């Protein structure tokens, strides 16, 4: 039995040395927070994990500091985040926030500001759960009710079914081609939270080439969405050239259904009015085309209201140009 006793003593000594080291190692291990989007994506793909992305303004939003201290820097958060997520914190300093507010050109803005626009971030702090490809799986807007890691964990658990559905849709997109891929992209677009759809822009622009004969019936839908997103981006950056024309072109040459065609003509007329264009005849004609495109639409009242306004301004302009207008006289 001496050998057995010696072995037991050896194991006991080993456990007294190794177990504390393992315990200390697990207690001291720190979560790595990436501050670079590309490095976080690479890590997520290498580890086959989702990305827990915190968008914050720690030196001005008045919430992030307490949120990190009370939730994200706790052992409880570390316990459930360790095996599930690659962590990313994109924090905009006050200086960067001021730069965005000045309306600078996109190429002059910080890369983080571009990512905020890319993901449509509108409040700080907020959490986006991203797939390893960078698509949005879930959005959690911060409020004071998220006061612990367990509360945050419960919120994410409640969204698990939705997250799984989006993840499955992403896998379907990646494994399909042609018309099947077009339909898979449509499923992914529908499953994704509306506020998180901007990162799908590249995918939806593939649909016309994936389905050139429009067998899916989806081409017009995404032609319109692409034009609308482009117009929104251009206007937000102070660019107007070609915006009205893009809606007219898609209405007349695209694969739009009646409702989409109505919206295209209506948007063209509305933007002309918004931009201060005084070509009221063209505006009125576009609104007539909108009416004709979908005569049963619930949007007809909006169209009629805009037509009445355009007609009023057109009449005023014609009166100003009439026989009683004074131009080129000695009094000028």
* Closest CA relative to residue 272, chosen from 298, 299, 237, 307: 307
List the helix and strand counts (H, then E) for the chain. 16, 5
Strand segments, DSSP code E, in the chain are 33-34, 50-56, 85-91, 126-130, 136-141
Q: What is the pLDDT of residues 216-253, one digit of tens each?
A: 999 999 999 999 999 988 998 889 999 999 999 999 99
Q: Are 279 and 313 in contact (CB under 8 A)?
A: no
For residue 153, pLDDT over 80 is answered with yes
Say how far apart CA 52 and CA 47 lie, in whole Å. 13
What pLDDT was estimated at residue 97? Answer: 57
Say how far apart CA 172 and CA 164 lie, in whole Å. 12
Helix (H, G, I), strand (E, B) or coil at 278: coil
Q: What are the tokens at 160?
A: 């698990």
What pLDDT was estimated at residue 106? Answer: 44
Q: What is the pLDDT of residues 276-332, one digit of tens each?
A: 999 999 999 999 999 999 999 999 999 999 999 999 988 888 886 655 444 444 444
Q: What is the pLDDT of residues 158-210, one digit of tens each?
A: 999 999 999 999 999 999 999 999 999 999 999 999 999 999 999 999 999 99
The tally of CA atoms less than 13 A away on the side-chain side of residue 206 is 19
Q: What are the tokens at 294?
A: 């979908």
Q: Once rounded to an integer, what is the mean pLDDT over residues 101-109?
A: 46
* Closest CA relative to residue 258, chosen from 295, 216, 204, 311: 295
Helix (H, G, I), strand (E, B) or coil at 49: coil
Q: Are 249 and 213 in contact (CB under 8 A)?
A: no
Helix (H, G, I), strand (E, B) or coil at 126: strand
Cα separation values, 84 from 49, 135, 160, Å: 6, 16, 13
Q: What are the tokens at 282?
A: 């063209």
Cα separation values, 6 from 3, 9, 10, 18, 121, Å: 5, 5, 6, 18, 64
Q: Are 243 and 235 in contact (CB under 8 A)?
A: yes
For residue 125, cis peptide bond before it (omega within 30 degrees of 0):
yes
Q: What does 110-125 look like in DSSP terms, one character per residue?
A: -HHHHHHHHTT--SSS
The alpha carbons of the chain give a radius of gyration, in whole angstroms, of 29
Helix axes of 300-320 and 280-293: crossing angle, nearest 10 degrees = 160
Q: Are 90 and 119 in contact (CB under 8 A)?
A: no
Assign 29 a pLDDT band (cuts: 50, 70, 90). Answer: low
For residue 109, pLDDT over 80 is answered with no
What pLDDT was estimated at residue 98? Answer: 60
């Amino acid at each position: 039995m001496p050998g057995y006793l010696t072995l037991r003593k050896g194991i006991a000594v080993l456990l007294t040395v190794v177990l504390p080291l393992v315990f200390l190692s697990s207690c001291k291990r720190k979560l790595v927070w990436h501050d670079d989007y590309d490095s976080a994506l690479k890590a997520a793909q290498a580890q086959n994990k989702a990305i827990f992305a915190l968008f914050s303004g720690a030196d001005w939003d008045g919430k992030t500091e307490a949120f990190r201290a009370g939730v994200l820097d706790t052992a409880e958060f570390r316990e459930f985040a360790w095996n599930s997520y690659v962590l990313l914190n994109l924090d905009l300093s006050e200086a960067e926030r001021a730069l965005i507010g000045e309306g600078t050109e996109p190429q002059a803005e910080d890369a983080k500001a571009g990512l905020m626009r890319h993901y449509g971030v509108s409040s700080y702090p907020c959490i986006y759960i991203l797939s390893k490809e960078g698509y949005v799986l879930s959005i959690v807007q911060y409020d004071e009710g998220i006061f612990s890691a367990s509360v945050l964990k419960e919120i994410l658990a409640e969204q698990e079914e939705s997250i799984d559905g989006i993840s499955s849709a992403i896998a379907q997109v990646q494994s399909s081609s042609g018309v099947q891929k077009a339909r898979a992209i449509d499923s992914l677009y529908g499953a994704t939270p509306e506020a998180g759809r901007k990162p799908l822009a590249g995918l939806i622009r593939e649909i016309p080439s994936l389905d050139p004969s429009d067998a899916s019936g989806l081409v017009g839908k995404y032609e319109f969405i692409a034009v609308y997103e482009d117009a929104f981006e251009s206007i937000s950056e102070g660019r107007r050239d070609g915006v009205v024309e893009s809606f007219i072109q898609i209405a007349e040459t695209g694969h739009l259904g009646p409702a989409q065609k109505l919206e295209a003509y209506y948007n063209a007329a509305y933007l002309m009015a918004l931009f201060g264009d005084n070509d009221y005849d063209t505006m009125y004609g576009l609104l007539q085309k909108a009416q004709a495109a979908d005569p049963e639409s619930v949007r007809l009242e909006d169209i009629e209201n805009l037509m009445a306004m355009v007609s009023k301004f057109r009449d005023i302009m014609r009166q100003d140009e009439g026989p009683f207008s004074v131009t080129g006289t000695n009094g000028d």
